[in-house]
Amino acid sequence: MFQFLAQPYPREQRSPWRWLLTSAGSGLFVALFLLIFQPFGLAQWNDPVKPYLIAGYGLVTFICLTGVGLVFPKVLGNFFDEKNWTVGREIAWTLFVIIFIALGNILYSQWTMGNGFAHVLVWLSFTAAVGVIPATVITLLSYTRLLRRYATDNLQIEKHEPESVISRESGNITLTAENEKDSLTVAVDDLLFIESADNYSEVVFIQKDKVEKTLLRGSLSRFEEQIHHPDLVRCHRSYIVNLQQVESISGNAQGYKLQLKHHSVLIPVARRYGDRVADYFRK
């Protein structure tokens, strides 16, 4: 059981604006649901400002979701790093979010209705007990689906011929830095990968049977636009990889990992690029 909970699991990455929209949508849903159906005894609650107080639950949900989505990952950056994210952490995090929102709404109920602290503990315990089941089931179903998606049974490493003739008679590519002065020309067959390094990009290649590295100022997107070759593909926000240099490919729920010839680094494949890489190696 513990071994399963330690299995890698993808950490969903959302931009701040997307998370705010998600939080706002969730808060609006909660407010409308409670206003329309008035469950949990709300129908028997009589107060002149009742609609506004009920809508407050939606506001509390929005604030709680925004807090856990934007603040916690900033404060606990290493904990939320996808390299450290597991099935167990996903279940625990989902349950924590549920309890955090529940706590916010229960405290809001205490403030508006005057319920005692014992009432808070009872509802918090009830929320945790109920929430752990869907949190676990949803995570397990998602894990199984992702594991099947990134299975490598139907992938094989073999020599791929270029699909079209590209303007590279010499078999070389030239990468030009932002200042338009610095450049690097390297044979396609010798290029291993290009990695983002802040405002620079590190080009890793083979030269005279040795692994060499060169820093060029410029974003990975800039150099991606300079490359027009079917074997050289963007596979991650931080990597462009030469698929001809892949020695083996592995997969888990987080996606594919590429082991290159001549280098020990494992190149991650982001989920958005997974199909592209899989199509290249598909039997």
Same domain? For 85 and 32 the reply is yes
Same domain? For 117 and 245 the reply is no
The whole-number pLDDT of residue 165 equals 40
Same domain? For 35 and 70 the reply is yes
Answer yes or no: is 232 within a domain: yes
Answer yes or no: is 143 within a domain: yes
The whole-number pLDDT of residue 130 equals 57
d(CA 47, CA 9): 47
Same domain? For 9 and 91 the reply is yes
Same domain? For 140 and 8 the reply is yes
Same domain? For 230 and 127 the reply is no
Same domain? For 136 and 84 the reply is yes
CATH number of the structural domain spanning residue 260: 2.40.50.1020
Answer yes or no: is 259 within a domain: yes
Range of the structural domain that residue 53 is part of: 2-149
Q: Over the chain (283 residues), what is each successive 10-residue block's mean pLDDT?
A: 82 83 90 85 80 90 91 85 87 88 84 67 63 76 80 59 43 92 93 94 94 95 93 94 92 88 91 89 73
Answer yes or no: is 92 within a domain: yes
Domain boundary residue, one of 116, 149, 182: 149
Same domain? For 13 and 103 the reply is yes
Same domain? For 107 and 31 the reply is yes
Same domain? For 132 and 50 the reply is yes
Same domain? For 198 and 142 the reply is no
The answer to whether the predicted template modeling score (pTM) of the entire model surpasses 0.75 is: no
Same domain? For 8 and 128 the reply is yes
Answer yes or no: is 165 within a domain: no
